[in-house]
Amino acid sequence: MFESLFDIDIQVDTEADEATLRDVVERLEHLKAAAAAAQARATEAWATKRHAAEAAAGVPKKKRGRGLAHEVALARRAAPKRGGQHLGLATALVREMPHTLAALERGMLTEWRATLIVRESACLSVAHRRQLDAELCSDTSRLVTWGDKRIAAEAKKITVRLDAAAVVERHAKAAGDRGVWIRPAPDTMTYLTVLLPVAQGVSVYATLKREADTTFDGRSRGQVMADTVVERVTGRPAEQPVPVSLNLVMADTTLAGDDDEPAWLDGYGPVPAGFACKMVGDAAVDEATKATLSRLYRHPESGQLVAMESRSRIFPKGLAAFIGLRDQTCRTPYCDAPIRHRDHARPHRETGRTSALNGLGECEACNYAKEAPGWRVRTRERDGRHEADFTTPTGATYRSIAPPLPGPPIRRRISITEGGLSVDLVMFDAA
């Protein structure tokens, strides 16, 4: 699916002395920075041409460039959210911050440090941004030993001096970005991140510290603080099963203890068999927790769920749940965001059917992006695998394949329910 535009063969003499190897590492770091600057120039030129073409085609100004950030993300093999950041960075560097771009080209800045400068100056006018750019990066010699925090601090210091009112206004608007995120951590743990205004965040942290300072039961301070968060949010002791929908998918043989294949926990990912069975067992013996089992079937070749179809334009609840379990996360290549929409790959207005084959689980941003002119998504089932080809307005095609369900190697047998080859799986839902 992917063809490299460049055939770069970098040979490293691993038998060289340490000084030579250090020099190679330094030169390659310089090369990475120069490549990032070249990417920025190419990205900005791409955006300029796209806007010009759409203006000539009569596209309203507010709609020009729609979906371009997602194309940039696909080209860079990054999540769609990163595409918007890369596009914004390229635009700012090329059009408004020539000294920062030059420092990046010469390897005096990394791409991330250039991003920090752009981010801290985002609230400034173009004139003030250019002034910050010249003041901070015209003399690149002092940038050599600065780390990430120093770069950000110096950029912020200049920003406040140039336009304090803009900084205050930016901070006031930032409260609207408050939210909560979760991502997997090693050893079947999770990172739960809460973004809050400073006063509320400090207040929450102080409350947790106070709880830890007054609790003496053998737990560490961190354990007390973490358990307190769980207890305050759920209203139940941290060690007690929580009565919420978990959507834990595991093979029936794993539930029965016949194998140790991983299960899949919605919103987290793969979890060890022992951990999954413990969750099921804890919920089953807890009178306050309702545990339900739903039987699913996976394809004998690919391990994916079998199909469902509806005549409705809107995906009915059962089919929407089916697509969510099959796709697990947004189906746009490189996007790991949670599924928010179930949408038609071929639009319903173009006779696209409301079916599992034509359905895709997508995040909100990706669903809207593919509605921009020039985007096309086509799905197929091949060898039991659900595949989706995303074609961008520039003609590039990226393939997405739904992941298989958890479980041991496929056991072929005749299912009385379906009358064909299938494998039973169990979806555990603690509610």
Enter the DSSP assignment of 414: B
Q: CA 200 to CA 26: how far, in whole Å?
A: 43
Q: Residue 408 pLDDT > 80, yes or no?
A: no
Bigger pLDDT: 178 vs 247: 178
Average pLDDT, the chain: 84
Q: Among 123-137, 256-270, 361-375, which stretch is predicted with the lowest mean pLDDT?
A: 256-270
Enter the DSSP assignment of 392: -
Q: Residue 31 pLDDT > 90, yes or no?
A: yes
Q: Residue 244 pLDDT > 60, yes or no?
A: no
For the ranges 96-105, 230-239, 300-309, 366-375, the one whose mean pLDDT is highest: 96-105
- Predicted pLDDT of residue 289: 62
C-alpha R_g of the chain: 26
Q: What is the pLDDT of residues 114-142, one digit of tens each?
A: 999 999 999 999 999 999 999 999 999 88
Question: How many alpha carbons lie under 13 Å from residue 16 in its C-beta half-sphere?
Answer: 12
Per cent of the chain over pLDDT 90 is 45
Return the axis-axis angle of helices 111-120 and 148-162, rounded to nearest 10°.
Answer: 20
Label residue 182 by pLDDT band (50, 70, 90). confident
Label residue 431 by pLDDT band (50, 70, 90). very low
What is the mean pLDDT of the segment spanning 364-387? 89
232-267 in b/e form (b: 16+ CB < 10 A) is eeeeeeeeebbbeebbbbbbbbbbeeeeebbbbbbe
Q: 28: how many CB neighbours lie within 10 A of its CB?
A: 12
- Predicted pLDDT of residue 161: 93
Label residue 422 by pLDDT band (50, 70, 90). very low
